Amino acid sequence: MTGKPNRKHGGAADGNGYAWACESVIGSTWNTELAYEQGKIVGNESIFLGVNGWYGPGLNIHRNPLSGRNFEYYSQDGVHGGCMAAAVIKGATDKGVHVYMKHAFLNDQETGRMGTTTFATEQAIREIYAKSFEIAVKEGNANGVMSSFNRIGTVWTGGDYRLMTEILREEWGFEGLVISDYKTDNAVMNSRQMLYAGNDLILASLDNLLWTDCDFSSPQDVTILRNSSHNILYVVANSNSMNVDIVGYNTEWWITTLYVVDAVAVVALAVWGVFVIRKNVKKQNASEE
């Protein structure tokens, strides 16, 4: 592990981390205890590198053996993959790392995945393709999700209120933030549609980061932006970024300042108390004489 560690609230840092066995190998162990330990070590490594978020793990399905990202996904079975992913996620989040499990949902091919239209029945989605995400939320306490590029039916997943709010948050009880997959010039990914659906953050370069689709004079748009900001801040506030400066386990400057203020206040009160006690003792002695 080399390089200069640097605090970042994302999935990268100025440094190199370990190269892990891919998800399909981890899934082949059927060992959730081992998966949990891997998640914990990912968390420890993140602390060393100064990273608070992890763009992973991948939870999609091995639908086709020719898919270009099968190595990023655990299994061809939603329950098996979900149990393995939940263990890894629990290990990482126990160390204060917020994960972005991906790609929700039905991102089960690599070629042509940007804007492609995927058709499936609700039963198949719930029992197979979304099952791993459900287990990761309910058993792994996952606090972050990355939405996918594709459409399900005619609606882009990141802009689908049924997926991002009704199922993910209201039905599964997810508490955290949803970030989009990387936006370049993809016209499918409308930020206003995304925000109203419950997708809180857009993953993009600075050139594509502006909320150009939102009307900042609209009370409705401003309210939905505030809701998204709340979800983002909730995740950051519950990460290890609030506790340590990570590298060398140095305390954040503002925490140090509070410690100093508290210490000065305690000393001042102690000194004041000593003087008050001595004054009262002298008065009592004088009255007795």
CA distance 260 to 256: 6
Q: How much of the chain is helix, strand and coil, in % rounded to 5? A: 50, 10, 40
Q: Of 181, 185, 221, 262, which is the active-site residue? A: 181
Look up residue 39 and give its two tokens.
Answer: 């998640």
The span from the first CA to the last CA of the chain, in angstroms, equals 76
d(CA 65, CA 106): 15
Q: Exposed/middle/buried for 44, CB within 10 Å: 0-12, 13-18, 19+?
A: middle
Residue 185 bears catalytic tag = no
Q: Are 235 and 143 in contact (CB under 8 A)?
A: yes
With b for 16 or more beta-carbon neighbours within 10 A and e for fewer, the 251-280 pattern comes to eeeeeeeeeeeeeeeeeeeeeeeeeeeeee
Q: What is the DSSP string of 234-251?
A: HHHHTSGGGT--SGGGPP
Q: Which residues are catalytic?
A: 181
